A and B are shown apart, each in its own frame.
Chain A
Amino acid sequence: DVKVTQSSRYLVKRTGEKVFLECVQDMDHENMFWYRQDPGLGLRLIYFSYDVKMKEKGDIPEGYSVSREKKERFSLILESASTNQTSMYLCASSSQSWEQYFGPGTRLTVT
């Protein structure tokens, strides 16, 4: 079974803090993705990576950066957290078979 894990289920941070969200997959997948999910808006792609050290912007990259130093690990960084970044963050991975495997999500609250 493919397993995608995320470092925290719930996180509370203060405005201006630097926030790290970690995602690890155990199936040697090439592609990894970070989404945020907000009510009524669905999943929106923040960044994705198709190989180690390779990354591309998604639809809403502003205020975020990513890092992929190892194939199994993809990190999302909020350089200076703001209240409008309060959301559910979902990580996913995929190989060439097209379907994406999601982690359980991190519910981030920025106060």
Chain B
Amino acid sequence: SQKIEQNSEALNIQEGKTATLTCNYTNYSPAYLQWYRQDPGRGPVFLLLIRENEKEKRKERLKVTFDTTLKQSLFHITASQPADSATYLCALGFSGGYNKLIFGAGTRLAVHP
């Protein structure tokens, strides 16, 4: 069956450390993968997009990797801050699909001072 999995347990880390979140999928062949941030009671906000032919993408303190062989994406936040505390969602996108996305359930990140 088709699945997209993110760590269901919350990730607790200390301020200043690097947070690493995982997104695994099975029986999908995405053309691209996106990461979103969602704060409580709000809609998700787009962070980064990485295409199937890209290994790594960076934006400020954020880094995303995409391994189509392992069917996995890793999302890193370096020098994490309490303001980075939120739920992070990964989403798979497909070519010719009107930008339709399949979302994971998200991982909650808590950064402690």
- Tell whether, in the assembled complex, residue A43 and residue B42 are in contact, meaning their CB atoms are under 8 Å apart: no
Which range contains the number of A residues in contact with the other chain? 20 to 34
Which single member of A42, A98, A105 contacts B43 (CB below 8 Å)?
A105
Interchain CB contact (< 8 A) of B103 among A42, A48, A96, A99: A42
Contact with B along A58-76 (1 / 0, CB 8 A): 1000000000000000000
Residue contact A42 to B106, C-beta cutoff 8 Å:
yes
A33 to B64, CA, bound (A): 25
Interface segment among B54-62, B73-81, B94-102: the answer is B94-102
**A-contacting residues, B13-40, CB 8 Å:** 32, 34
Give the A-binding residues of B (Cβ under 8 A): 8, 32, 34, 41-46, 49, 89, 93, 98-106
A40-B8, A92-B43, A105-B42 given; A100·B89 CB < 8 A: no
Q: Tell me which residues across on chain B come within 8 A of A25, comparing CB atoms.
A: none
A-B contact pairs, 8 of them (CB 8 A): A4-B43, A40-B105, A43-B89, A45-B102, A48-B98, A48-B100, A99-B34, A100-B101
Whole-angstrom distance from the CB of A100 to the nearest CB of chain B? 6
B98 and A102 contact, CB distance less than 8 A: no
Question: A34 to nearest B CB, angstroms?
Answer: 12
Which partner residue on chain B sits nearest A90 by CB separation?
B43
Contacts of B34 in A (CB 8 A): 98-99
Partner pick for A31 among B32, B98, B102, CB 8 A cutoff: B98
Given contacts A42-B89, A105-B41, contact A99 B46 (CB under 8 A): yes
